[in-house]
Amino acid sequence: MLIKIAGRNLWRNKKRSVIIISAVSIGLWAGTFLTAFYNGMIEQRINTAIGKEVSHLQLHHPKFRSDYDIQYYLPDSQKMLQTIESDSLVKIAAGRVMLKGMIASAAGSSGITINGVQAEKENSLTKLQSKIIKGSYFDAEKSNEIIISEKIRKKLKLEINKKAILTFQDKEGNLAAEAFRIIAIYKTINAPYDESNVFVKNTAVDSLAGIPNGFNEIAVLLKSNATLDESLAQLQQKFPNTEIKSWKEITPELGLTVSVADQMTLIFMGIILAALAFGIVNTMMMAVLERTREIGMLLALGMNKFKIFIMILLETFFLILAGCPIGIILALLTVAITNKTGLDLSSYTETYSSFGYDSVIYPSLTWNQLQTVLLLVILTAFISALFPAKRALQLNPAESLKK
Instruction: Give the binding site for another protein (CB under 8 A).
Output: 1, 4-5, 8-9, 12, 293-294, 297-307, 396-398, 401
Alpha helices for 10-95 (secondary structure H) = 14-48, 64-67, 77-85
Q: In whole angstroms, how close is the CB of 383 to another protein at the nearest point? A: 24
Nearest in space to 301 (alpha carbons), one of 402, 397, 396: 397
Residue 403 C-beta: closest distance to another protein, Å: 11
Give the DSSP H or E segment for 184.
Answer: strand 175-186
Nearer to another protein, 188 or 400 (CB): 400
Backbone angles phi, psi at 166, to 5 degrees: -105, 130
Find the shortest distance in angstroms from Cβ 6 to another protein: 9
Is 91 or 307 the residue whose CB approaches another protein more closely?
307
Closest to 352 measured CA to CA, from 194, 190, 133, 195: 190
Give least dist CB 395 to another protein, A: 11
Contacts of 94 (CB under 8 A, 6+ apart): 81, 117, 118, 121, 122, 124, 125, 218, 219
Residues 6+ apart with CB under 8 A from 154: none
Which residue type is seen at 71?
Answer: Q
Residue 276 CB, shortest distance to another protein, in Å, is 26
Nearer to another protein, 315 or 358 (CB): 315
Closest to another protein by CB, 356 vs 388, is: 388
Identity of residue 319? L
Q: Least distance (Å) from another protein to the CB of residue 323?
A: 21
Quick one: 9 or 251, whose CB is closer to another protein? Answer: 9
Contact criterion met (CB below 8 Å) for 120 and 137: no
Are the C-beta atoms of residues 246 and 56 closer than 8 Å to each other? yes
Min dist. Cβ of residue 9 to another protein (A): 6
Q: Which residue, 3 or 226, has its beta carbon nearer to another protein?
A: 3
Cβ closest to another protein, residue 98 vs residue 395: 395
Q: Which residues on neighbouring strands pair with residue 92, listed in sequence order?
A: 221
